[in-house]
Amino acid sequence: MGKMSKYLRQIGFIYLIPFAFYLIDPFGKGFLFGYVLILVLLLNGKRLVPYLDSDFVFLSLFAISYALFYALDRSSGVQLIFIYAFFPGFFYLFGKYLAVPNLSTSKLVLLFFGIGFVFSFSALISVLLDLRTGGFVQLSREIPMVWNGEPKKATLMSAYLTFNMCLPIIYLIKQRKIPLVLQVLAGGVFVASLLSVFRLGSRTQLVITVLAIIISFLFVVPRQTIKANTKLFFFMILVVAFVLKFVPLNLDADYFSVLGSRLQESKNTSSAGGRTELWLQALENLFSHPLGWRGSHVRFAHNLWLDVARFAGVIPFFLLLIFTGRSLRNTYKAIRKDPEKLFLNTTMLIFTLAAMLVFFVEPVMEGLFYLFTVYCLYQGIINQYLIQSKSAGATGQ
């Protein structure tokens, strides 16, 4: 922990404090702390110059072009023009700044999960307080925010828990150097997040957890020793036995009240909740309305890229596709750079896929913009780690 505090001092609390409050978003004013963070970064602009790269260019071009189209409408206020235009690029640069040289694998993993936890803090506390007062058996899926009591839709609340749902990978990999206290804390956060997901009835977050476990198995097992895999399978048998013994797997159980009803009553699960029809319609509109299609009768496409095309047309759409392709390529290169860093590689892979899963099924820019900026920040960390690995290899370190 002493080394982690040294790292935090190295980054500088003048950056970390506004960043933390941006993630926590108190009273819905987190964007103000985002402005402060960007201002501090600009005042120390010399530190940013080495981090400028082509990914930042494509991301900024997308963000600015999207903001310009939003400026023609301004349905949610003028300041969103600046938020859309500058937050993605600067958070990407800040991610690169956080990945300082010679940062150990365990600290990088803690950085990923630590940011994810702070990002989830307000939503997690809000849902847990709602559970304490009303339990699982409630008709409404909306949750009042802890700060001001403003009700938030379940989709928005569950998105903040995205990276907490990746926590099981901590226990599936032998090569980890995380103190026992933090492992216990991570387990508590995951259980609290899982209970919150049941209260919210979020199928997407459950899928993220299942995929995180499955992909971790597929990714880790071939790369670990027989002894490590034997311990892993024995551990999983104990977990499954514990769940079967003490957790009622019954759709009529109280904790399944919201989620169980959604699983039982949904007739369009195979079409991603009816989203495939919206995707196909959006793909048709992409060619017939290249400058976007908006109106009171137009529905969300429930897909990051297609909703960008709906709102702002093909130019931001293609710029976002380019950034997405480059970020996936960077993640792929990063996890292949050093196969021995199994814990870090799995974390980078799962976090990227978890964000992509949410992006595929939700209108991110018009509802989950904070999640998109956190994804940009993670990509900055991954890209800087990749660059440092290349530099170390070139110098023979």
Contact between 390 and 113 under an 8 Å Cβ cutoff? The reply is no
Strand partners, 191: none
Which tokens belong to 330? 């960077």
Chain Cα centroid distance, residue 389: 24
Chain Cα centroid distance, residue 207: 14
Cα–Cα distance, 37 to 34 (Å, whole number): 5
pLDDT of residue 397: 41
Arithmetic mean of pLDDT, 48-64: 94
pLDDT of residue 253: 57
pLDDT of residue 193: 94
Lowest mean pLDDT among 31-40, 153-162, 289-298: 289-298
What is the DSSP code string of 310-359?
A: HHH-HHHHHHHHHHHHHHHHHHHHHHHH-TT-HHHHHHHHHHHHHHHHHH
Q: What does the angle CA 250 – CA 251 – CA 254 come to, to the nearest 5 degrees? A: 90
pLDDT of residue 298: 79
Confidence of residue 292 (pLDDT cuts 50, 70, 90): confident
Q: What are phi and psi of 61, to 5 degrees?
A: -60, -40
- Return the DSSP state at 277: H
Cα–Cα distance, 166 to 190 (Å, whole number): 8
Residue reference for tokens 């099981």: 168
Checking if the pLDDT of 100 tops 70, the result is yes
Confidence of residue 39 (pLDDT cuts 50, 70, 90): very high
Contact between 185 and 148 under an 8 Å Cβ cutoff? The reply is no
pLDDT of residue 396: 44
Cα–Cα distance, 282 to 308 (Å, whole number): 10
Label residue 109 exposed, middle or buried (CB < 10 Å: 0-12, 13-18, 19+). Answer: buried
Cα–Cα distance, 129 to 397 (Å, whole number): 50
Cα–Cα distance, 95 to 379 (Å, whole number): 7
The per-residue pLDDT of the chain, averaged, comes to 86
Checking if the pLDDT of 4 tops 80, the result is no
- Return the DSSP state at 148: T
Q: pLDDT over 70 for what percent of the chain?
A: 88
Lowest mean pLDDT among 76-90, 125-139, 221-235: 221-235
Cα–Cα distance, 85 to 319 (Å, whole number): 13
Domain ranges of the chain: 48-98+275-397, 115-266
pLDDT of residue 259: 59
Q: pLDDT over 90 for what percent of the chain?
A: 49
